[in-house]
Amino acid sequence: MPSTITSEKVSSAYAAQPQPINATTFRRYRTLLAIKLIKRFRKPNGPVLFLSDKICVKYGTRATLSEASTMQFVAKHTSIPIPRVYCAFVNQNLAYIVMERIHGKPVGAGWFKRPEESRTKILNQPKQMVEELRRITPLEGIGVARDFHRHLRRVLEAHPDPEPEISELDSFMCDGSV
């Protein structure tokens, strides 16, 4: 497991304003063309469209370059399993994140058929991941931590809150209240 990260150890690749990632002209057009063609045969799963068995793309108003940068940052500085980001860009005010497709089953599938030890292990994983994320020292002038909390809040609640405070996240993680 990686140790605590400090601002001095982080490269300048994590700029205050998220930048496109590996967004060559060829990759942009290939992504847009793939979406146009594949949408005719496959329905998107929310904001995600599975392009192949190994690649998917999240796009639209619910995708951001900040999210792609955060994914890369977390993957690089923790042991948390994060899909690899192949490419991320904005086209006509919509963001596109081309990433590795992670296969799996919903955690609730067969939940009661699992042994108690397996269920306990699964339930402890989010706590361990949040603890690992909290060991990352917030970066001066960079919104990775702020954006992570916003993305987490969107997942945990039915409605998004634009700027949750770190103390609110702490309260939620400790006792489930905000």
pTM for the model stands at: 0.70
- DSSP secondary-structure letter at 111? G
For residue 53, CA distances in Å to 2, 23, 56, 157 come to 30, 22, 8, 30
Domains in the chain, CATH or no CATH each: 7-100 (3.30.200), 111-175 (no CATH)
Strand order in the sheet with 55-60: 48-50, 55-60, 94-100, 85-91
Give the containing element (helix H, strand E) for 144.
helix 144-156
Residue 145: CA atoms inside 13 Å, Cβ hemisphere, count? 19
Residue 136: predicted pLDDT: 83
Q: Return d(Cα 35, Cα 29) in angstroms, integer.
A: 10
Q: Which residues of the chain have pLDDT under 50?
A: 1-15, 158-164, 175-178
Classified as helix, coil or strand, 98 is strand
Residue 6: predicted pLDDT: 45
β-pairing, 85-91 vs 94-100, is antiparallel
**DSSP characters over 71-96:** HHHHHHHS-S--PPEEEEEEETTEEE
Is residue 86 within 8 Å of residue 101, measured between CB atoms?
no
Question: In 10 A of CB 111, how many CB atoms?
Answer: 11
Cα diameter, the chain: 51
